[in-house]
Amino acid sequence: MRKILLVGDDGSQTSASDGTGACISRTKKFYNELIQSGFTVVVCSPQVGRVGVAEVKSMLRMHKFDCIVAISPFPVESVVNAKPDIPLWIDINGMHSAELQLKDNLDGRYGERMLRMLSLENSLLVSGDAFSAPSKRQSYAICGELLLLGRKIGGSEKGVVVTSIPHCLNQVSNFRHTPSEQATIISTGSFNLWFDEEVLFKAFEFALSMHSTLKVIVTGGVTPSSPQKYDNFCKMVESSSYKDRYSLLGWVSREKLLEVYSAASMGVYTDIPSAETMLGARTRVLDWISRGIPVVCTAGAEISEEIQKYSLGLVVPQKNHKKLAEAFLAIVSDAELVNRIKLSQKKWSEEVNSSSIVFQPLVEWCSNPCFASKKMLGSKTVQKLNGIKYYRLLFVNLSKNKGVIYAIKRALNTIKHLFV
C-alpha cells in the first residue's frame, strides 16, 4: 500500500486559540481517513520558515514516500520550498486573501500582509498536482485562479485535479443527543473577523427577555488575528441585564467542551457579509451536527445552504437579530421540530456527508498519485516571495502607507538579514 507524507498541524505545538484550530481539525481528519483506507501515513507538523523547510526535507530523506498531502498555506509552503520530487496534493484550507480583506489597516501594513499572502498562494498554485478545499465554492475559486495562470485542469492524466473535501463529521457514540432540561444555547470556537458578535449578542438579549430560564454558554473566543471581536462581546455581556445567565468560558479543554455539548439545546454561529463568508466553511457546525445538536445560523456560508436544504437546523438572514432570536425560541418551544432536525442530521451524516463519500477523490488519487503538467501560460498575481519584483512592490506599498523613511529602514533591515 502507498506510503504518504501528511504535512499539516497535528496540534502538538499549537492550539485552537492560536488561530490554527481548523488546520488541526482537518489534519487529524485527513490522517484518520487515510489510515482507515489502508495507507501508511507519516505526519509532519513543520514550523513556519526555514526551520519548517528543513523539517520536511528531513522527513523526505528518512522515508521513501509515494506522495505528499499537505494542508493549509503555511505548512504547504514548507513543502513547496523543500522541492519534493513526488506528486503533491495541496489542501488550501481557507481563502486567506479574503480573510485579510477584513483586517483593519491601523498599522499601515495591510498591503504588506496581502502581498505576502498573494505571493504565498501563487507559489502553491503553480506547485500542486492536485488541490482540494473545504467548500465547493472555494474549489471553484481555485479553478478560476489556476485558469488565470494557464494551468490545465482535469480532462487527462496531465490535468490538475481540483475537488472539494467538505469538513465532514467524526462519528461519535452519543449521536442521539439528549440535552439537559435547562434550555441552553451554545456558541463555540473562534470569534473570527467574519463573526458577527453584535447581531449574536442582540439576538441573545431578545431571546433572554422572552424566555425566563434560557441560558447562554460561550466557549472559545480570542484569536491573534481578531482580539477585538471577543473583547467587544464580553463588554456587551458585562453591561447586560441578563449577564448572570451567560457563561463565558473562553478556550476550554476537549473534556470540558464535551460537557458543554451535553448541555446544549442548540448551537449558533453568525457571519457578516464578506468574501470569506461566501467561500469559507464552518468547522464547529459539524461537531454540533455529529451530536444531534440543532444548528441556528445566518445565511451566507456554503454550510448554511446544506443546513437549510437538508433541515439540519434553522437559517435566518444576516444582520437580523430578531429573526435569529425567533429561531432560538422556536427550537426551545417545539419538540417535534427538534426531533425532525435530529433525524435529518443523522440521515445527512450517514449518507450525503459520510466520510467514504467526502474523501473518495483523495483516496483514489493517493492510490495512484501522478504529476500534473506544470506548464503555465498566464501570469502570477504577485511575483515570487523575496524576489526583486516582490521587494519593489513592497517598497512602493510601504512608502505610500508608512512613509518613505519607514520603507527605506525596512529595505536596509532586509539587506542586512540577507548577509547574516
Q: Please state the three-class secondary structure of 34-83 as a single string.
A: HHHCCCEEEEECCCCCHHHHHHHHHHHHHCCCCEEEEECHHHHHHHHHHC
3-state secondary structure of 350: helix
Q: Does 259 share its domain with 286? A: yes
* Tens-digit pLDDT profile for residues 104-119: 887 888 888 899 999 9
**HSE-up of residue 96 (Cα within 13 Å, Cβ side):** 22
Residue 176 has pLDDT above 70, yes or no: no
Domain contains 17: yes
Does residue 396 form part of some domain?
A: yes
Question: 76 and 18, same structural domain?
Answer: yes
How many domains, the chain? 3
**What is the distance between the alpha carbons of residues 133 and 124, in angstroms, rounded to a whole number?**
13
Mean pLDDT (whole number) for 122-133: 96
Residue 290 and residue 394 in one domain:
no
DSSP secondary structure, 178-212, as one string:
---SS-EEEE-SB--TTB-HHHHHHHHHHHHHH-T
Question: pLDDT tier at 78 (50, 70, 90 boundaries)?
Answer: very high
Q: What range defines the domain where residue 20 resides?
A: 3-168+364-383
- Helix (H) or strand (E) holding 4, with range, is strand 3-7
Same domain, 372 and 413: no
CATH of the domain at 230: 3.40.50.2000
Q: Are residues 41 and 114 in the same domain?
A: yes
* 358, part of any domain: no
Strands 266-269 and 295-298, how do they pair? Answer: parallel
C-alpha cell at 270: 453568525
Q: Tell me, what's the pLDDT at 9?
A: 93
pLDDT above 60 for 363? yes
Average pLDDT, the chain: 91
Kindly state whether residue 176 falls inside one of the protein's structural domains: no
On whether both 30 and 108 belong to a single domain, the answer is yes
**Same domain as 278, residue 213:** yes
Q: Is 9 inside any structural domain?
A: yes
Question: Are 278 and 349 contained in the same domain?
Answer: yes
Query: What mean pLDDT is predicted for residues 138-148?
Result: 95
Q: How many residues does the chain have?
A: 420
pLDDT of residue 384: 81
Give the residue from 276, 275, 274, 323 showing the smallest Cα distance to 298. Answer: 323
Look at phi and psi of residue 271 and say left if phi exceeds 0, alpha if psi is from -120 to 50, else beta: beta
Classified as helix, coil or strand, 241 is coil
pLDDT category at 328 given cuts 50, 70, 90 is very high
371-392: pLDDT as tens digits: 999 988 888 888 788 888 888 8
pLDDT exceeds 60 at position 173:
no
Kindly state whether residue 359 falls inside one of the protein's structural domains. no
Shared domain for 243 and 376, answered yes or no, is: no
- 173 within some domain: no
Same domain, 207 and 314: yes
Q: Are residues 392 and 369 in the same domain?
A: no
First to last CA, the chain: 45
Per residue in 282-323, pLDDT (tens digit) is: 989 999 998 999 999 999 999 999 999 999 999 999 999 999
Same domain, 145 and 259: no
Q: Is the pLDDT of residue 410 over 90?
A: no
The more confident residue out of 186 and 97 is 186
- For residue 62, CA distances in Å to 4, 71, 173, 193, 324 come to 13, 21, 38, 40, 54
Residue 420: predicted pLDDT = 52
